[in-house]
Chains A and B, each alone.
Chain A
Amino acid sequence: GAGVSQSPSNKVTEKGKDVELRCDPISGHTALYWYRQSLGQGLEFLIYFQGNSAPDKSGLPSDRFSAERTGGSVSTLTIQRTQQEDSAVYLCASSLDWRSSTEQYFGPGTRLTVT
């Protein structure tokens, strides 16, 4: 079966614009994660969805960032009023369940550049 897919693969946007990043998890995976990879901060957790439970938003860096997961499958990460420090690679991962021991499968990422 297909792995985790993300779109677009690259996104260039002007400062102040809103962007939406999409993640399609592996079919049947109930948990979905967003991470950010940047030169200055390394790999950081952003947000986590598990089934119908309330998402864990503890990693979102500001209220300009939000995410939703529709129908327990596809997820969209939205960044409003983008800033240059938002430039990074945004990685999505999914796992079969919520357990800490369960492997997370990562997508190829979306490279966001804010000019």
Chain B
Amino acid sequence: AQSVTQLGSHVSVSEGALVLLRCNYSSSVPPYLFWYVQYPNQGLQLLLKYTSAATLVKGINGFEAEFKKSETSFHLTKPSAHMSDAAEYFCAVSTGTASKLTFGTGTRLQVTL
């Protein structure tokens, strides 16, 4: 079975500060890992994905994530937060032939002036 844990249901940062959203996964087989963003009253949009190529993955809107197998982590970062980054972020995993996604509980990012 696969699972995802997101530490911190709410994260608040100042505009211009570093964004760090944490995600740890559990999987008995090599995982595929995804970060999705959800703006209010909208569906989910893919930020980036790890599919066993480069361990440092760059996504849209300046976000990136690093796959660390030894730590079973896939944390999302952005060097400088913008007000427009305020949203809910979900980490998700899929494995093998089971392409259905297992999501974490989400982290709501607040960006303050």
Contacts and interface: CB of A to CB of B under 8 A. Distances in A.
B15 to A, nearest CB: 28
Nearest to B43: A106
Given A4-B43, A106-B43, A107-B43, A100 B90 contact: no
A85 B51 CA distance: 36
Interface string A35-64: 100000011110010100000100100000
Interface stretch (B17-25, B68-76, B78-86, B97-105): B97-105
Contacts of A56: 98, 100
B100 A98 contact: no
Contacts, number: 60
Interface residues of A, number: 27
Contact of B98 (A91, A93, A100, A105): A100
Interface string B83-113: 0000000101011111111111110000000
A48 B106 contact: no
A42 B106 contact: yes
A83 interface: no
Given A101-B49, A103-B49, A108-B42, A43 B99 contact: no
A106 B45 CA distance: 7
B106 A43 contact: yes
A80 interface: no
Contacts of B49: 101, 103
Nearest to B98: A100
Given A100-B94, A103-B46, A42 B100 contact: no
Contacts of A31: 99
Contacts of B94: 100-101
Interface in B11-39: 32, 34, 36
Contacts of B90: 43
B7 interface: no
Interface of B: 32, 34, 36, 41-46, 49, 51-52, 90, 92, 94-106
Given A42-B104, A45-B100, 4 more contacts: A42-B103, A43-B92, A100-B32, A100-B98
